[in-house]
Amino acid sequence: MTIMFNKNPLSPPDGEPRNERVRFHGLNAGYPGRPVLHQLSAGVPALAVTALVGPNGSGKSTLLGVLAGVIAATSGQVRYAEGPPPAFVPQRGAVGDTLPLTARQTVEMGRWGERGLWRWPTRQDRTVVDSAMERLGVAHLGARQLGELSGGQRQRVLIAQGLAQQSDLLLLDEPTTGLDPEARERITALLTALVADGTTIVQATHDLEAARSADTCLLLSDGRLVADGPPAEVLSPQSLSRIWQPT
Ligand SMILES: Nc1ncnc2c1ncn2[C@@H]1O[C@H](COP(=O)(O)OP(=O)(O)OP(=O)(O)O)[C@@H](O)[C@H]1O
């Protein structure tokens, strides 16, 4: 696969000008002996929330992993507009809620890429961590064990870890799944505020309410892109019943 960085906002091949943070084309990816994504082509608009939606196993996390650079595509291209590498926040379960980590230590892990694992945190690292925790409303939870926090608090700690990576491109895997409506709304509002501050967000989600509040949706089914556009169009009753049809 080819990864390219562009100085200018990306334009789709048809030439229509559109400000995109990422564009992928003809993307195929998967796991050894298990192809998952098939010929995906789409763009991620800059300064917007893009929701990756689709049934279990449709390839949302795999696509997010490819965009994050943690899963190698077997073929195709991913082009990033100029900017720092993406910050990736995996699914809550992937972090291991039982690890003996405090909330603050979890957020500090977001600085490892910049600082290296074995170096002491600098004053700058501490400032970045403080500000990410304040932004997500978790500064008061710093000394608490991650496993003791509520689902919504844990999720905000993980998003703070993403912010601590100081990227303008934040990739979130299921940030609102399993949360109560109040915690979900709080996270959705935070994501909107982050976009207003200059961040581009891609979230994989099962949560149709979260997807409906995104600016744009990519609907996946069996590793193929079946719709791409505003939520009102992509998440129409017809497409939802077609994709989620019981087999
Ligand atoms: N590490 C792996 N090794 C082999 N196959 C995998 C691996 N991770 C995921 N898969 C398979 O790839 C397919 C796509 O999985 P993926 O997690 O991308 O889907 P998803 O849409 O995010 O699903 P969910 O909504 O359940 O999180 C599934 O069939 C899954 O079983």
For tokens 């994504």, name the residue: 37
Evaluate: CB of 219 within 6 angstroms of ligand 1: no
Q: How confident is the model at residue 26 (pLDDT cuts 50, 70, 90)?
A: very high
pLDDT digits (tens, 9 = 90+) for 70-87: 999 999 999 999 999 999
For the chain, the structural domain boundaries read 1-86+169-177+199-247, 92-166
Query: Do the beta carbons of residue 200 and residue 46 sit within 8 Å?
Result: yes
CA proximity to 158, closest of 98, 107, 109: 107
pLDDT of residue 57: 92
Nearest CA to ligand 1 atom 18: 59
* Secondary structure class of 208 (helix, strand, coil): helix
Nearest CA to ligand 1 atom 1: 31
Tokens of 60: 């949302």
Evaluate: CB of 216 within 6 angstroms of ligand 1: no
Sheet with 2-6, strands from edge to edge, namely 2-6, 73-81, 20-31, 34-45
Angle at 99 between CA 96 and CA 105, to 5 degrees: 105
Predicted TM-score (pTM) of the model is: 0.89
pLDDT of residue 240: 84
Q: How confident is the model at residue 16 (pLDDT cuts 50, 70, 90)?
A: very low
Question: Could you tell me if the ipTM is greater than 0.90?
Answer: yes
pLDDT of residue 7: 47
Nearest CA to ligand 1 atom 30: 57
Evaluate: CB of 59 within 6 angstroms of ligand 1: yes
pLDDT digits (tens, 9 = 90+) for 170-222: 999 999 888 888 888 888 999 999 999 999 999 999 888 889 999 999 999 99
β-partners of residue 199 are none
CB within 8 Å of 163: residues ≥ 6 apart: 87, 110, 132, 135, 136, 170, 194
| Superfamily (CATH) of domain 1-86+169-177+199-247 | P-loop containing nucleotide triphosphate hydrolases (3.40.50.300)
For tokens 């891609």, name the residue: 202
Cα of 60 to ligand 1 centre, how many Å?
8
Cα of 34 to ligand 1 centre, how many Å?
10
Nearest CA to ligand 1 atom 24: 56
Instruction: Give the other-Cβ count within 10 Å of 50's Cβ.
Output: 25
